[in-house]
Amino acid sequence: MKKYFDSFLQYRFLLSELVKKGIRLKYRRSYLGIFWSLLEPLLTMIVLTIVFGTLLGRGDDKTFPVYILSGRLLYNYFSGATKSALTSIQKNASMIKKVYVPKYLYTVSGILYNYIIFLISLIVLVAVAAVMGVKPTVYLLQAPLALLVLLLLATGIGMILATLGVFFRDLEYLWSVALMLIMYTCAIFYPVDRLIKSGWAWILKYNPLFCTIDVFRCAVFGRPMNMHYFLYALGFGAVTTVIGVIIFRKKQDEFILHL
């Protein structure tokens, strides 16, 4: 373990450069640049609030936009980070063939640069919450826990996808479908109580991303978090990260044969 930690420290400068490169490439030829990371969730929130606020009868609930945005931002990061991780080895195939660097750097950099953009986009949530009258409370201290679990989930699942994606190219399309299913089981644009009444709440409880979003929402709206949700998401993230690292390390030498 010490060997891998030393390797990480040795290549930390390269990792930081890959993260900067990822951010630059994401907004290359974009007039709005990183400002789009603030504008896009805001526009999405407005559309979802108008549509689902009307359909679900939440038009009079002033905090409904904050409810949507707090879920949408976390889901967007998870989706973007795992997609970047999935294609990270394939997109850097030419570099991998020419120069030796630890291959995990390409995957981790994709997860991290998306995380930085996500943290910047939280500015929108702060602004919308202030406008809608959602005041910060002491429970806001729970938010960093949710954000750390979110990063852990993205890292674990991202490492697994990065490994499998080298051998199964169709996984990219299958994961897009899986992400759509995950989105609908994260209660992003509908209240959880509606699902509880229908008897399908167990689906949410087994979705670690929903559990993470719920912990984050509790922090935003000033409620104590559900400890069962937090521990489940944390455990799921830790286990998938360990599995992802082991699988990646065992299969990385075979990547070159499939690129």
Tally of domains in the chain: 1
Assess if residue 98 is contained within a domain: yes
The predicted pLDDT at position 76 comes to: 94
Asked whether residue 206 is assigned to any structural domain, the reply reads yes
Cα gap 160→255, rounded to integer Å: 14
Does residue 110 lie in a domain region?
Answer: yes
- pLDDT single digits (tens) 61-88: 778 889 999 999 999 999 999 999 999 9
Question: If you search the block for the tokens 């930085």, which residue do you land on?
Answer: 116
Q: Is 4 part of a structural domain of the chain?
A: no
| Per-residue pLDDT, 231 | 96
Cα 31 to Cα 68: distance, rounded to the nearest angstrom: 27
pTM score, two decimals? 0.91
Residue 120 burial (CB count, 10 A): 14
Does some domain include residue 3? no
- 171 vs 256: CA distance, rounded Å: 18
Q: What is the pLDDT of residue 256?
A: 86
- Determine the Cα angle at 85 with ends 81 and 88, to 5°: 135
- Residues 6 or more apart in contact with residue 205 via CB below 8 angstroms: 211, 229, 232
Structural domain includes residue 1: no
Which pLDDT score is estimated for 211? Answer: 94
Q: Is residue 5 part of a domain?
A: no
Where do the DSSP E strands lie in 86-125?
none
Q: Taking Cα atoms as reference points, which of 162, 195, 199, 166 lies closest to residue 82? A: 162
CB 104 within 8 A of CB 55: no
Domain range enclosing 192: 10-257
DSSP state of 255: G
Structure tokens belonging to residue 153: 């989930």
pLDDT given at position 4: 60
d(CA 244, CA 238): 10
Per the structure block, which two tokens stand in for 249?
């390390």
Structure-block tokens of residue 165: 């994606």
pLDDT at res. 194: 62
Mean pLDDT by 10 residues, the chain (259 residues): 66 87 78 72 82 66 87 95 94 85 91 93 92 91 96 96 92 94 87 64 84 95 94 96 94 85
184-209 burial, b for 16+ CB within 10 Å, e for fewer?
Answer: ebbbbbbeeeebeeeeeeeebeebbb
Distance CA 43, CA 141 (A): 28
Cβ contact 172:165 at 8 Å? yes
- Locate 37 and state its tokens: 């990371």
The verdict on residue 53 lying in a domain is yes
